[in-house]
Structure 1
Amino acid sequence: MRTIYLTLTTLALLLLLSCCHENDTILTFDTGSKKLINSKLEFYSNGGNANLFFTTNKEAQPIISIDYLTRNESEWLSAKGFVDSGNGEITIHCDKNNTLNKREASIHVAVDDANFTIKVIQRPAGTANTTYDAYVVGEKEQTKEIEFTSNGKLTFSLRFDRPIWIKYDTIEQEEKVKLLLSIEPNEGLGRIAFIDVYVDGIKHSSISVRQQPATFSPNVVIPAVEAGSLYVLLGDEEANIRHIRNLTISGSLNALDLYVLKQRLFLSGLIARSYPLQLDLYETYILEGYKSYYSDLKIELPDNLPSIEEASLSSETFAYVDNIASLELPGYLEKIGPYCFRGCTGLERINIPDDVTVIGEYAFKGCSELKEINITPFSKLASLGDYAFATGTRLKSLYLPIGLTHISELAFKSCHVDSLYLDWETPPILKVVPKGETLSVPSGSRQAYESTPGWSNFKNIVEHNP
């Protein structure tokens, strides 16, 4: 009888355990999710999202809580989940880590009576330190070594403005990486490459490597220039740049390019006469702004540089430059600003483009060697500022277009011209007229000029057919 009782008790217990087991919550994870739970979920410093997938025999929705294991940290994780028809998903979002500290947390998930924990680690913001962020090398073939220290895995990528001219290799040491550059010789204009530095696959910074141009000949042509690129193309080796005697540029120029020309190519004082320059900018177009064509190139500029408008030359663009002997201005130029060429004592000849409407005050004052200011009958010139043509006594000839209607009182102060050509039938009344030898006026207007104060001072007044 006792044996029968024990058997029945045992069967009852087994039946009860069986029923309890059938009611347990079962979670089955896919391979990737199981791996994360058994080890850890790791985020790089830029954060991101991660998903875990499982199946379950219950329709209970997940309950999620987060424990942050690093102190003094604001909440940087969020997690949400759902169960639908036995399929479950947990989505975890990690914010970007801008600190230099590693962050740790635990995410606890409960589905009915089952639970699991996900350990989360986020790497600190990547660092990559080197001595300089810009390097300049000569035109000859050479090698360059750049050493980095970092708190992560460093990788590199090169960008070029020309076909590939740098190759690189890396040597990894404890907490350091040496980047070995093999640089080809340069046979043309200056060029630049950028080294993008990545820490743990995330872009950290860029380093520039600028190579000086090959030795310049006396005659240099720089075609199809992009605005803001002369800083690289011309280089900054003074001895090399001084080889140039004739420079022709075509393409787009901005205020930065004009600043580079003035700083590197233009000279003042006694030394300037030893390096005379013929400059042809006729096929260029002037754009505003000091922006470099190379967006990652850092250029230090002085404060308070003059602004330059499109199709204009600003005040003092060429002021006190003594080595320019001849200048072809941009063909689409519309305005020559005040003081633009003041004191250019070496300038002997200049052509004023037909689209120029304004020549500002003091524009050519003190250009004591200026012999030719070439203005054509098709010129749109309409306004002259005070002392605009105060060039002294060497000017051989000058033509003033009929559309020139606004002449400041002192526009021709200190201006002597051997031969002056006018198309106005009625003499303009000016406080100061140019001094000179011969005045050529439209047919039938000679008598009017001979009787007008100022104009009558010319020794010879002759007529021409307009």
Structure 2
Amino acid sequence: MGGYVSSRSLWGVHRTGMFENDKVVEEVIISEGIESIVNGCFHNAIALKSLEFPSTIKDISVTDCKNLTSVKFSENTVEIEDLSFQDCSSLEKIILPENIACDGISNDAFYNCTSLQEINIPDSITRINYWTFYNCVSLKQIDLSKNITEISKCAFSKCSGLEKIYIYEKCTSIADDAFDGCCKLTIYGIKGSYAEQYATEHNIPFTEIKE
């Protein structure tokens, strides 16, 4: 039977490598008062299936947890660190808090999350950073925030299952390789917008939407 760590027994989750390479613990409910989960705390915790964050958590980094399927964020979470869920290949759905900072999804955050099928992009987000969704091959559709202004280098590269992305008028910068390997992609956007111009220049089908 897999292990379980309750909010009462977990007090030092912020320490470097606390659950690194752990093969027993399946579920962790983190204590109130902890503010950051960084420095490889859960790196390669191979039995871990579920994480629940308290209201005090602000910064998160969890990597290479290949059996992690469930994550419950606090509404007070403001930043998801670089490489936060890299190689969490069983993670299927992410619901981000509405108050996350404008640049709160950092580089490589969901890199190689090959089972990820659904994620929301809150209106507070203004940029999709480098390599954020690289090789998220199960992602089929994504509706970006209307406040997104930039889609960075390789943000959606190798998302071979991605069929639809909604990009709105405020977006005026998209890296040339942002959608490399997205062979099924159609960009949905406003007629005359930068998104339409980008689609035309990169031979990506474009479908008009009305705001």
Structure 2 length-normalised TM: 0.71
Shift of residue 443 of structure 1?
6.3
Larger radius of gyration: 1
**More strand as a share of residues:** 1
> Per the alignment, in what secondary structure is the counterpart of residue 327 of structure 1?
strand
Change (3 A) 1:260 1:388: closer
Structure 2 residue aligned with 1:320, among 44, 64, 67?
64
Give me the whole-angstrom Cα distance separating, in 2, the residues matched to 1:366 and 1:446. Answer: 28
Return the alpha-carbon distance in structure 1 between the equivalents of residues 188 and 98 of structure 2: 21
Whether the 8 Å CA contact 1:425–1:442 is kept in 2: the answer is no
Q: Distance in 2 between matches of 1:361 and 1:422?
A: 20
Matches of 1:344 and 1:411, distance apart in 2? 17
Partner in structure 1 of residue 163 of structure 2: 418
Q: Tell me which amino acid in the other structure corresponds to 1:280.
A: E
Greater relative contact order (CA < 8 Å, ≥ 6 in sequence): 2
How far, CA to CA, are the matches of 1:393 and 1:400 in structure 2? 18
The code of the aligned residue for 1:279 comes to L
1:155-194 correspondence to structure 2 within 5 Å: none
Which of 52, 72, 78 lines up with 1:280 in the alignment?
52
How many residues align? The count is 199
Query: How far, CA to CA, are the matches of 2:23 and 2:156 in structure 1?
Result: 38
Instruction: Give deviations 1:124-155, integer Å, cap 9, x for gaps.
Output: xxxxxxxxxxxxxxxxxxxxxxxxxxxxxxxx
Listed as ranges, the gaps of 5+ residues in structure 1 are 1-214, 287-310
Offset at residue 230 of structure 1 (A): 6.3
Partners of 2:195 and 2:82 lie apart in 1 by 35
C-alpha change, 1:216 and 1:226, in structure 2 (3 Å) is closer
Q: Show CA shifts across 1:105-139 (max 9, x none).
A: xxxxxxxxxxxxxxxxxxxxxxxxxxxxxxxxxxx
Alignment of 1:111-122 (within 5 A): none
TM-score between the two structures when normalised by the length of structure 1: 0.36
Q: 1:374 aligns with which of 95, 117, 120?
A: 120
1:440 corresponding residue in structure 2: 188
Match of 1:174 in 2: none
CA RMSD of aligned residues (A): 3.9
Which residues of 2 match residues 45-194 of structure 1 at below 5 A?
none
Q: Give me the whole-angstrom Cα distance separating, in 1, the residues matched to 2:50 and 2:168.
A: 31
SS state at 2:33 partner: strand
CA distance in 2, matches of 1:430, 1:336: 22
* Structure ranking higher in helix proportion: 1
**Secondary structure in 1 aligned to 2:42?**
helix
Aligned pairs (5 A) from 1:345-384: 345-356=89-100, 357-358=102-103, 359-376=105-122, 379-384=123-128
| Residue 200 (structure 2) aligns with | 452
Q: Any conservation in 1 of the 2:171–2:194 contact (CA below 8 Å)?
A: no
Quick one: distance in 1 between partners of 2:106 and 2:40?
23
Are residue 228 (structure 1) and residue 11 (structure 2) matched?
yes
Paired residue type of 1:431: D
